[in-house]
Amino acid sequence: MPKLSLEWPRDSGGYAFSYERPSTSLLELDEPVGDPWIRGLGGAINHYDCMKLEGLYRRFAGYPANKKGALAFVKKHGFLKAKLPNSKEAVRTICDAIREMSLLLRAKDRGDWAALNSWLKKNRRSRDFIRVDPVLIGGSPPQLFYQPASLRDAIFLQFFEDLSTGATLKHCKRPGCEEWFRFGPGTGHRSTAEYCSPKCPKAHDYAKRKEGAV
């Protein structure tokens, strides 16, 4: 199966709230003028492959659907849809997507496949539906990749891919670690695994010893 990949930009200078409507017509211009936006602060742009983050959709749904949650998400992962370094993105757009993914996760966790299929049917013609573009990368012959059009598309696509393959994920037991990991045959993690990597149980044990010594 072709791999999923998306190099997504982040502003290394950080992000902040803005209450000024962006001038570009490419963003959500139906948002009320008084609602907050988030803007990049103009630092160097770096990229990361967001599809390599296990449980990206669970990380996303774990942020509060409010101003602080939206800003915290963008600081960590970049804008949800905007690609341009000087862009702004509406807080409301991010919060709505967090709530939507939270609803989908609850449907998945209770095995409500009809609700998930209904969501796909309802949204497939909307402008916010998952868009994936095939691209060829590399030499001779090149590799075929599926590239989501935005971080939002990557989040929702990864959710439905894991849903359809029956992927089993756990959150790392070490306090402060944000990583999710797959477990079971072929994943490198047993079903009894509690940590995402060998360094985390050592760090957790060290933290407990340090706390006990205080």
So what's the pLDDT on residue 87?
A: 86
Query: How far apart, in Å, are the Cα atoms of 76 and each of 39, 47, 115, 130, 133?
Result: 14, 12, 30, 22, 25
Q: What single-letter DSSP state applies at residue 80?
A: S
Give percent of the chain with pLDDT exceeding 70.
Answer: 86
- Residue 204 contacts residue 195 (beta carbons within 8 Å): yes
At position 125, the amino acid (one-letter code) is R
Tens of pLDDT, residues 149-202:
999 999 999 999 888 887 777 778 888 887 777 776 666 677 777 887 888 888
- Residue 122 contacts residue 132 (beta carbons within 8 Å): no
- 207: number of CA atoms within 13 Å, CB side? 11
Tens of pLDDT, residues 132-164:
888 888 888 988 887 899 999 999 999 998 888
How much is the pTM? 0.80
Tens of pLDDT, residues 12-30:
999 999 986 655 544 455 5
